[in-house]
Structure 1
Amino acid sequence: MNSYDEHSHDELKSIGHMATLPRDYRHAKDIETVLMELTDEVCQRARSHHKAGKTVTVSVRRYDLRSGFHRQSSLVAPSNLSSVIFKKAKAIFEQHWDGQPVRSIGVSISNLHDDQDIQLELFTNLDKEERISRVLDQTHARFGKTALLRASALTTAGISRDRATKIGGHYK
Structure 2
Amino acid sequence: MSKGRIIFHVDMNSFYASVEMAYRPDLKGKPLAIAGDPEKRKGIVVTSSYEARAKGVKTTMPLWEAYEHCPDLIVMKPNFNRYREASQHIFSMLSEVTPFVQPVSIDEGYMDITEYTRGENPLEIAHSLQKRIMDELDLPCSIGIAPNKFLAKMASDMKKPLGITVLRKREIRNKLWPLPIGEMYGVGKKTEEKLRSINISTIGDLATRDPYHLKQLLGINGERLNSRANGIDDRPVDPDAVNEFKSIGNSNTLPFDTTDRKEIDQLLNQLAKKVSERMANKQVFSENIQLMIRYSDRKTITRSKQLNQLIDSSSDIFSIASRLFDEHWNEEPIRLLGITAQHLVLKEEVAQQLDLFNYEKEAEKEKLYQAMESIEEKYGKGTFIKHQDNPQPSVTTSFQKDFLNDYKKNKKN
Find the aligned partners of 2:337 and 2:263 in 1 and give their Cα distance. Answer: 12
Provide Cα deviations, 1:58-104, integer angstroms capped at 9, x if missing partner: 00100122x13100002221111011111111010110000010111
Q: Which has the higher strand share?
A: 1
Q: CA deviation at 1:113?
A: 1.1
CA pair 109-6 structure 1, distance change in 2 beyond 3 A? closer
Find the aligned partners of 1:14 and 1:23 in 2 and give their Cα distance. Answer: 28
Q: How does 1:1-172 map to 2 (within 5 A)?
A: 1-2=99-100, 3-5=237-239, 13-65=246-298, 67-116=299-348, 117=350, 119-123=385-389
- Letter of the aligned partner of 1:24 in structure 2? D
* RMSD (Å) for aligned C-alpha atoms: 2.4
Range with bigger deviation, 73-82 or 93-102: 73-82
Q: CA deviation at 1:26?
A: 1.3
Please tell me whether the aligned partners of residues 62 and 100 of structure 1 are also in contact (alpha carbons under 8 angstroms). yes
Find the aligned partners of 2:391 and 2:320 in 1 and give their Cα distance. Answer: 17
SS of structure 1 residue aligned to 2:274: helix
What's the counterpart of residue 157 of structure 1?
none
| Structure 1 segments unaligned to the other structure (5+ residues) | 127-172
Find the aligned partners of 1:6 and 1:72 in 2 and give their Cα distance. Answer: 25
Between structure 1 and structure 2, the one with the greater Rg is 2
Q: Which has the higher contact order (CA 8 A, sep 6+)?
A: 1
Find the aligned partners of 2:325 and 2:390 in 1 and give their Cα distance. Answer: 25
**Normalising to structure 2: TM-score of the pair?**
0.28
Q: How many residues align?
A: 124
**Normalising to structure 1: TM-score of the pair?**
0.64
| Structure 2 segments unaligned to the other structure (5+ residues) | 1-98, 101-236, 351-383, 393-413
Please tell me whether the aligned partners of residues 75 and 88 of structure 1 are also in contact (alpha carbons under 8 angstroms). no
- Percent of residue pairs bearing the same amino acid type: 25
SS of structure 2 residue aligned to 1:100: coil
